[in-house]
């Protein structure tokens, strides 16, 4: 009975269930969007790792067990990209966990509206930054794939030379 009276008083004073407010529903919608975008980032990372494995295998086929500096540099650059991408995903995972906690705390009334709005706005800003960083990484990765394909094509051209032929060196010997 006391709970019913408290709820009625709270509701009449403009309180009510925080989980039913438009702000909370918007926060939940934002969270669902973040989760979807995070899943997309993770999928992209998995694809990037698969491509890296394939690239390393291609390099071994092209250069044998003694890769040249171009292969080694490309592999190192790609590994650096993968490491940065993993770091970004880990930070985004932490952001999602913090956001989940904020949603729960707001729904239960543990967090006041002002705190919720402040933290939620910061999380949205952090999420947008993560998306921009991910987009740049994706662009860099696409360029890496193009560079790798060009390297494979160049190597294939070199592999088609007949025995005894030499490469042109722009007039240098």
Domain assignment present for 6: no
Q: Which two tokens stand for residue 31?
A: 């969270």
Instruction: DSSP letter for 109, please.
Output: T
Domain assignment present for 139: yes
Task: Report residue 8's pLDDT band, with 50, 70 and 90 as the boundaries.
Answer: very low
- For 106-163, the pLDDT digits (tens) are 778 888 878 888 888 888 898 889 889 888 888 888 888 888 888 888 878 875 443 3
User: What is the mean predicted confidence (pLDDT) over 163-173?
Assistant: 40
Q: Is the pLDDT of residue 2 over 80?
A: no
Q: Is the pLDDT of residue 165 over 50?
A: no
The residue assigned the tokens 């662009």 is 139
Domain assignment present for 90: yes
Contacts 24+ apart (CB under 8 A), 35-41: 35/96, 37/127, 37/131, 38/89, 38/92, 38/93, 38/96, 41/88, 41/89, 41/92, 41/130, 41/134
Interhelix angle 113-159/22-63, rounded to 10 degrees, is 20
* Number of domains the chain is built from: 1
Q: Is the pLDDT of residue 11 over 70?
A: no
Domain assignment present for 28: no
* pTM score of the predicted model: 0.60
Domain assignment present for 1: no
In terms of residue numbers, what domain contains 121?
Answer: 39-157
pLDDT (0 to 100) of residue 17? 58
The SS3 of residue 28 is helix
Domain assignment present for 8: no
Q: Is the pLDDT of residue 4 over 50?
A: no
CA distance from start to end of the chain:
97
Helices (H), the chain: 2-12, 22-63, 69-108, 113-159
- For 46-104, the pLDDT digits (tens) are 888 888 888 888 877 777 777 778 778 888 888 888 888 888 888 888 888 888 888 78
Q: Is the pLDDT of residue 13 over 60?
A: no
Query: Are residues 41 and 92 in contact, defined by beta-carbon separation less than 8 angstroms?
Result: yes
Domain assignment present for 23: no
Domain assignment present for 150: yes
Instruction: DSSP letter for 108, please.
Output: H
Query: Are residues 107 and 24 in contact, defined by beta-carbon separation less than 8 angstroms?
Result: yes
């Amino acid at each position: 009975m006391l709970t019913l009276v408290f709820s009625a008083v709270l509701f009449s004073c403009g309180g009510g269930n925080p989980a039913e407010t438009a702000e909370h529903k918007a926060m939940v919608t934002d969270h669902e969007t973040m989760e979807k975008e995070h899943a997309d980032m993770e999928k992209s990372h998995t694809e990037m790792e698969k491509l890296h494995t394939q690239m390393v295998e291609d390099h071994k086929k092209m250069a044998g067990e003694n890769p040249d500096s171009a292969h080694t540099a490309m592999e190192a650059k790609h590994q650096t990209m993968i490491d940065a991408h993993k770091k970004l995903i880990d930070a985004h995972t932490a952001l999602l966990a913090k956001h989940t906690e904020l949603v729960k705390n707001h729904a239960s009334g543990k967090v006041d509206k002002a705190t919720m709005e402040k933290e939620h706005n910061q999380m949205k800003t952090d999420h947008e930054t993560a998306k921009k960083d991910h987009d740049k990484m994706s662009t860099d990765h696409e360029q890496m794939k193009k560079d790798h394909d060009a390297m494979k094509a160049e190597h294939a051209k070199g592999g088609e030379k007949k025995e005894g032929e030499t490469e042109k060196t722009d007039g240098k010997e």
